[in-house]
């Protein structure tokens, strides 16, 4: 028995999906009008002014979030901005 076979049941096999938030255009993310699109849009690179503009544009699409999604977004924003 090889050494790796001894620990085969205990070795974690990690896999992940890379999501490049900067790959999506602002229009695509605004069109989605969901929590993930909102977070992706806010998480894109940019200066303070572009962040303000994105927040203004998202103001109307936030109404489509469920109360639970809105609370998740609020918590995320509090951790990011505080």
Q: Write the pLDDT tens digit of every residue in 17-58.
A: 888 888 999 999 888 889 999 999 998 888 889 989 998 999
Helix axis angle, 35-42 to 48-58, nearest 10°: 160
| One-character DSSP codes across 17-77 | ----GGGS-HHHHHHH-SHHHHHHHHTSS--HHHHHHHHHHHTTGGGGS-HHHHHHHHHHH
End-to-end CA distance of the chain: 54
List the domain boundaries for the chain.
3-81
Distance (Å, whole) CA 22 – CA 44: 6
Q: Write the pLDDT tens digit of every residue in 57-67.
A: 998 888 889 99
pTM of the predicted model as reported, rounded to 2 decimal places: 0.68
């Amino acid at each position: 028995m090889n050494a790796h076979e001894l620990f085969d049941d205990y070795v974690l096999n990690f896999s992940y999906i890379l999501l490049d938030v900067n790959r999506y255009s602002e229009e695509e993310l605004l069109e989605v009008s969901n929590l993930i699109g909102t977070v992706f849009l806010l998480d894109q690179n940019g200066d303070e002014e572009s962040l303000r503009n994105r927040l203004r544009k998202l103001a109307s699409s936030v109404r489509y979030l469920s109360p639970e999604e809105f609370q998740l977004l609020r918590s995320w924003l509090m951790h990011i901005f505080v």
